[in-house]
């Protein structure tokens, strides 16, 4: 008998994967770009206010306020945590403009430059699982808040491994709420023709596992690649049924 938290074709019909930190090693790149953007802004703000500069903390601020959220929501969330408020602006604001959208666009410029220079690294364990479940006949999807999702999949040469991509651009077109709301995962399952109870959500972000739990999915998997106890505990507390450091534990594939 299969372990209760394994993925088998008898139990499930689809697996929905987050992108950054699950399929690709871009989460750490995103975190570094968020830090660079916010630190530049916070230094300017400290000079304006004649206050102490407190830098963006990747270890605490990134998972709490930014990770897994749509870009502009991440900006708003972090600024609110610091007691700061900027005009929202518009999505076509230039990156130097002091608006929520301007800061988000500055971060996006930074991540695009890094990806263009360094390419995209994938996680072998994740691709092993994607190929395994597809061989069993399960459907696969990428569900990501990133508006760069399509470009990242193409750069990593893994676009063809997925039946569906539902990313930040598509979510905006469909007016879907971002994670932790379950809307994007539910829309992906609907487009695949699979009920949530027969689908697996695999996420590394706290808001991602929250979204999977809120959507009533059959299995919500948290990915804690650094194998830190506090990270795993936080994922469980936010809705993960199981937390793994290696996704191959879910299928028994090497």
Q: For residue 149, which of 128, 163, 170 has the smallest C-alpha distance?
A: 170
Task: Identify the DSSP state of 164.
Answer: E
101: enclosing H helix or E strand: helix 100-118
Q: For residue 140, which of 3, 1, 11, 18 has the smallest C-alpha distance?
A: 18
Q: State the catalytic residues.
A: 18, 20
Q: What is the pLDDT of residues 200-242, one digit of tens each?
A: 999 999 999 999 999 999 999 999 987 777 999 999 999 999 9
Extract the residue ranges of the chain whose pLDDT is less than 50: 1
* Residue 229 pLDDT: 78
* Residue 1 pLDDT: 45
* Residue 254 pLDDT: 57
Residue 117's Cβ-side half-sphere holds a number of Cα atoms within 13 Å equal to: 7
For residues 178 and 162, give the distance between their C-alpha atoms in angstroms, rounded to a whole number: 21
| Phi, psi dihedrals of residue 52, rounded to the nearest 5° | -80, 135
User: What are the Cα distances from residue 225, in Å, to 38, 87, 148?
Assistant: 25, 37, 22
First to last CA, the chain: 19
Task: Identify the DSSP state of 66.
Answer: I
Specify burial of residue 99 (Cβ count, 10 A radius: 0-12, 13-18, 19+).
Answer: middle
Can you tell me whether residue 245 is helix, strand or coil?
coil
For residues 68 and 18, give the distance between their C-alpha atoms in angstroms, rounded to a whole number: 9
- pTM strictly above 0.75: yes
Retrieve residue 90's tokens: 């518009």
* Residue 118 pLDDT: 86
| Phi, psi dihedrals of residue 165, rounded to the nearest 5° | -125, 125
Domains with residue ranges and CATH for the chain:
14-26+121-250 (3.40.50.1000), 28-118 (no CATH)
């Amino acid at each position: 008998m299969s372990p209760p938290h394994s993925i088998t074709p008898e139990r499930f019909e689809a697996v929905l994967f987050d992108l950054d930190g699950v399929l690709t090693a871009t989460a750490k790149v995103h975190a570094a770009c968020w830090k660079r953007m916010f630190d530049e802004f916070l230094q300017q703000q400290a000079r304006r206010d004649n206050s102490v500069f407190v830098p963006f903390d990747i270890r605490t601020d990134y998972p709490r306020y930014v990770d897994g959220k749509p870009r502009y929501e991440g900006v708003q969330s972090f600024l609110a945590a610091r007691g700061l408020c900027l005009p929202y602006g518009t999505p076509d604001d230039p990156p130097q403009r002091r608006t929520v959208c301007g800061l988000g666009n500055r971060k996006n410029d930074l991540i695009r430059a890094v990806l263009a220079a360094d390419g995209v690294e994938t996680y072998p364990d994740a691709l092993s699982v994607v190929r395994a479940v597809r061989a069993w006949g399960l459907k696969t999807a990428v569900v990501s808040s990133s508006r760069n999702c399509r470009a990242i999949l193409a750069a990593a040469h893994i676009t063809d491994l997925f039946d569906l991509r539902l990313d930040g651009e598509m979510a905006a077109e469909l007016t879907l709420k971002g994670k932790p709301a379950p809307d994007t995962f539910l829309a992906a399952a609907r487009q695949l023709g699979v009920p949530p109870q027969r689908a697996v959500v695999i996420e590394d972000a706290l808001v991602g596992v929250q979204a999977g739990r809120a959507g009533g999915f059959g299995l919500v998997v948290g990915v804690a690649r650094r194998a830190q106890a506090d990270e795993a505990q936080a994922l469980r507390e936010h809705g993960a049924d199981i937390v793994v450091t290696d996704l191959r534990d879910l299928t028994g594939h090497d």
